Amino acid sequence: MAKLKVLIVDDSAVVRKIFTEVISRQPDLEVVGTAPDPYVARDKIVQTRPDVITLDLEMPRMDGLTFLKKIMHYHPLPVIIVSSLTQRGSKMALEALESGAVEVLAKPDGACSVGELGAQLVDKIRASAHVRFTPKKNSEPPSPATKLAPLTQTTDKIIAIGASTGGTEAIKEVLLRLPSNAPGVVIVQHMPPKFTTAFAERLNQQCAMEVKEAQDGDSVTTGRALLAPGNFHMLLKRSGARYHVQVKNGPPVHHQCPSVDVLFNSAALSGGGNVIGVILTGMGADGAEGMVAMQNRGAYTIAQDENSCVVFGMPKEAIRRGGVNKVLPLSRIPDEIRRVLSASPS
């Protein structure tokens, strides 16, 4: 099997050296070049025809975001963003994901070494080999303006969503089409800390629902969506008639923190048949076990289909294990959620 060819674009010579060493040790990966800025990278793309690019955002002569947009316009291919954990870096990383980047990784700020980051990068590069690029359609205006009625049918419901690679755009598409009086939503998106903060803020500006990064003890209520913070697991809990979240430290599950399985398994225990579970695009198997658990407790479960996924990993595994009631393209998932809510007994 041919090796995956990787081009590393970063203004730090140390990062380029360490990434090259880590990636080159993998028998299925090959570093075909490195570049300190987008101008050098442009020439090397033509010369080496890489399968995957790693791209820093803050670089001299041309920033990575501008360069990414040029790549996606002229020569679309998988790009993994490696960005600093700053407010500016986080916002740029989100814009990069919206512009076509497939993943975002955080440059170390003392929490982990560049070498450990390189090990994470290896997994992301392999996953990128399965990324599918589809032409972007002109986005249609979201249509959630009509409120769910009667609301009494849905106040006890919880919508639990899990996603990874490609998930930021998929989650946005679902939330944009949910009304302001939709049941409480709990979300895990595999993403580093600070990026989850920026992602929640961006969604809150765009959606009819309130969207916030979850804090321990936050209530899950009508019209609110809670996003698990990076590096923390989030669990759904119930106390009497009140749903709330527990945000806690813990070891990674499926190499992830936050983990979709941690959320989904807690939703199965605390919400049972009141839960609508949704698993979206992403690599790996995180969430598959939790989908089975939710379904076994009476939840209605939905998986994104292969054609609309950026990476058909997590939904595929949930389907394989028999934990999915309905498989749908992303564009039809919000309507299916609304249909299930409308059909729920009061």
Residue range 292-325, pLDDT digits in tens: 999 999 999 999 999 999 999 999 999 999 999 9
Mind listing the pLDDT tens digit for each residue in 118-141?
Answer: 778 898 898 887 787 654 444 444
HEC per residue, 27-66: CCEEEEEEECCHHHHHHHHHHHCCCEEEEECCCCCCCHHH
Would you please indicate which residues are annotated as catalytic (active-site) residues?
Answer: 164, 190, 286
81, 52 Cβ separation under 8 angstroms: no
- CB–CB of 144/208 below 8 Å? yes
Look at residue 151 in the predicted model and tell me its pLDDT.
40
Q: Considering only 154-168, 192-206, 244-258, 271-285, which range has the smallest mean pLDDT?
A: 154-168
Q: Is residue 338 over pLDDT 70? A: yes
Q: How confident is the model at residue 228 (pLDDT cuts 50, 70, 90)?
A: very high
| CA gap 142, 176 in Å, rounded | 6
The full set of domain ranges for the chain reads: 4-128, 151-343
Neighbour tally for 128: CB within 10 Å: 24
Residues 6+ apart with CB under 8 A from 282: 162, 163, 164, 165, 166, 167, 190, 260, 311, 313, 314, 315
Q: HEC states along 265-294?
A: HHHHHHHHHHEEEEECCECCCCCHHHHHHH
**pLDDT surpassing 80 at residue 5:** yes
- Range 262-286 burial, b when 16+ CB lie within 10 A, else e: bbbbbbbebbeebbbbbbbbbbbbb
Contact, 85 vs 107, CB < 8 A? yes
Asked if domains 4-128 and 151-343 share a fold, the reply is yes
Distance CA 70, CA 324 (A): 39
- Give the Cα separation of 71 and 45 in Å (integer): 10
> In the 8-state DSSP scheme, what is residue 333?
H
**Distance (Å, whole) CA 323 – CA 321:** 6
CATH 3.40.50.10860 fits 151-343, yes or no: no
Among residues 211, 217, 251, which one has the least CA distance to residue 232? 251
Residues 37-49 have pLDDT tens digits of 999 999 999 999 9
How would residue 111 be classed by pLDDT, with cut points 50, 70 and 90? very low
CATH number of the domain located at residue range(s) 4-128 in this protein: 3.40.50.2300
Question: Residue 328 burial (CB < 10 Å; 0-12/13-18/19+)?
Answer: middle
What is the overall mean pLDDT for the chain? 89
pTM: 0.89
